[in-house]
Structure 1
Amino acid sequence: MRDPAPWQRRYERIALLSLLFGLISQYLMIGHSFGINVPLFVALFYGLYFYAVQGRIGGFDQWRGQSKSGWLLCLPIALLSLTYVLFANTLFQSLNIVVLPALAAAQTVLLTRSSAKPWYRAAFYHDVLYVAIFKPITYISVPFELFASRFLPNGFISEASSPAVSRARRIVLGLLLAAPLLLIVILLLASADSIFQSLLNRIPSLFGDVSIGNGIVRLIAAFAIALYAFCYLWTLLFRRTGEQLQTPPARLAKVRFLFDPITAETLLICFNLVYLVFAAIQFSYLFGAASGLLPEGAAYADYARQGFAQLVVVSIINLGLLLGGLHLVKREGQTAETVRKISLSLLVGCTIVMLVSAFSRLQLYEQAYGFTQTRLLVHGFMLFLGLVLLMSLIRIWREHFSLAKAYIGLAVAAYVVMNYINIDAIIAEQNSIRYSSTGKIDLEYLKTLSPDALPALVKLQKEHQNDLPALTPIIDSIRNAAIEHGSWQSWSWPQQRARDIDD
């Protein structure tokens, strides 16, 4: 591994400390009421801040910008953070959620002279708001570029290393890249499928006492805190409002994300191994064999109709992995290319299995709880996603196939089809069929349907006139709303059909 420049070593340490800050912060805050965790959080932030702003210009010059006013703010900030330990007044605790960050932002801007305005002028607070909220957003890509400049080819992989050592480093990098997203995916899959979750529970202390949902929330919170902390510090290091102090190192802007093929293949193999286990469970579910694998006390009917939303989310994540595997992997030799294509094809296959499972689960859910517009739109989206994956599969093996053209054409066609399938009529028809077989129907939801649903509702009324007297006012309400504005300029086929039914 090459010896990085001093500025890069420093920025990497700031990034790592920001990540550590995010992880500790979520541990202190998530799931706990305010107390001693507040002053601890404030102390951690200032420890990170004072480390970052040493030699604030490029990491070499002496730290400048000390201001008596800035240092004086240490007292109210410390005292206000301690109020969460000393008192329990809910009004001031709520107010201090806003006041403490505002004072901290003003102090950090003062101490680093990130605003040229005096603190007693309104313009200074405009600069504080800009530096604290808006400017960090523009630097969101910086930590990823910093990481890429060090760990992608010509960085983490040293030309002087032996082939075995180089390959091992690439594999380790792939494992490190896979770990965070794979953890989220595993949590989603466990939330979607109780058999998969029971399989995970057999691995001792894999997640400890952290629940699936809580684990995802904690990971997202840690990442968000770390990303914001780093971007805010980067703003203070390199940007003075109204004038450019120093541009971040130019090489960061030139890095193109092209992953080493061994690293990418390691990442894809990790995901595919998990997906193959999950796909095997889904096949058992689709053929009805899963009922014998369920944990004690779990009902097969409940198992089968849950988790479709999580499976759709995982499918979208997989689409992102697929596109990354197509466009962000360095091409290196025929063998590596073949492995990449097979890995991506396997990813597509497993994702399609997930979509089929999600589609089946949603159908069972609709049979149990009724048909709605949202549920039918999700059906349509899953079909669209499946076609997108098939187009992507073609692209994996045919380099000159244009995904952009295929995606855009497919999206336009899918949108037109969804407009023409008459979704409200389908909802009314399917809910009528469900009522005939189960005796259950959501009349309140039927009130929200458009006149497109009238033919099916009128047919249901005729078939079950004695059983559904409440359906008559619903039909009348929809019909009256359709024909209320009877001018020729407002003519439409549903309106005309409503009049014909009335006649």
Structure 2
Amino acid sequence: MPAPRPFQWLRPSDPDRKAPAAGQTVAAAVLAGLLTSWLLADGLGVNLLLCAVVVTVGAGIAARAAGRRPRGWTVLWSVLALALLAVPALSEAGWPVLMCTLWALGLASLALHGGRRWPGVLLALPGLLWQLVPGLRWALKGLRGRAAVGRDRVLPVVKAVLVAAVLLAVFGGLFASADAAMADILGSLVPSLDLGELPRHVALFGLGLAIALGFAHIAAGPRRWDRTVVPPGRARGRLEWALPLVALDLMFGAFAVVQAVVVLGGRDSILANTGMSRSEYARQGFWQLLVVTVLTLLVVAVAKRWAPRGTEGDRRLARLLLGTLCLLTLVVVASALGRMWFYVDASGLTTLRLWVLAVEIWLGVVFLLLIAAGLTRSAAWLPRAAVLSAALAAAVYGLMGPDAMIAEQNVARFERTGQLDLRNVRGLSLDAVPALDRLPGDYRTCALGIITFELAADGPKPWYAGSLADSRARRILAERPAVDHSSARETACDRAGLRSDDYFGG
């Protein structure tokens, strides 16, 4: 009897046989690599969108050659991925830009793979990762098959490109020497020939080429992750399964009663008994409640897998206990959000506080989806709805400008109360400049000092590498410069009340 193949569970998801890569697909991938090498070496900005358009064209050619046609969910995931790639063109905040870029890659992979069930959706998101090397092999195989046939077609194209390059170089040089504005435009379009940057350009070219071919490889024949066999968990007896959930529901119910008492006016007595200040009570409670929310999501997933399902009564009991737990978890989410907002009002908004607020809100949406799934006859829509909610949350978080929101909240609080913790705003990106520009004197110098130093060190960016936040910040600081000398910044921070051991950067 032959030994079973490793990863036997992958066999049902094997893709359909792919034809060799078309010449147009390879050409689009090479163009994507060249754009990545040229544009991304200077920064992000609109570069990602430009590269994404070329990658999309290459994947579309490969899909059309394989006889595939776009469907509704394919279009939805693709549009949302492009919306996420618009964030670097608007914002300079590092973490939101990185998160939105990764989500865009995941959604693009999901759009090409398709998927309805949990395996199909979750395994398709990182699907590009294991298509990078196969995509390169697929392209080489296609090129070898066309090498002899296409030689007569390739040589005229190469000659035409060389002639065009010579003509552009000659006439571009003449126009540049004749007009300073034309020289600036051509200078921003022509890539730098610094040999010291050559390894980075080569690495970026390889990355762009591999990603474009990986997406095209998926489009030509995606792995059908929905066919992955996931055996159901062994159903437990009613007592064995229900008793822990009943106990947990009672615990959550007790917490909900306590929160009702607090909301109705019992907070002062609770604080008196615990000896904590309002700020300490809010800060300490939030993190525990966030952990409770995440753990509850895991409990629901595990309990659903092993729930009794032999009879209609078993299924009704599962819906009742799990639905009650999800409803009571919404009370936990509301309590956590209330505590964090109370803490923000007392101490100001920070990057971490805004991030965990957004995560907690998204977790609340997930529990609402779980409740809706329990009330419907079929929950086949739940996997895609959960991923859609996460992707929309990432898009909203990135597009709303979190650093600008943090700066605005802290500056508005300063204008209202005269209190400002400069540690909350000194590490923000260029998005925060319009709000921080409203601060007076030493507060403004201290808050904008690091940004001014970094802008002076980076220098101006080409049109394709900058963002709206970058151009806006440069315009504001050009009109009202902030001191960019480290000693002057430290003196201003001292006068504004920031301790010397709190300095960071620049």
TM-score normalised by structure 2 residue count: 0.45
Highest relative contact order (Cα 8 Å, sep 6+), 1 or 2?
2
TM-score normalised by structure 1 residue count: 0.45
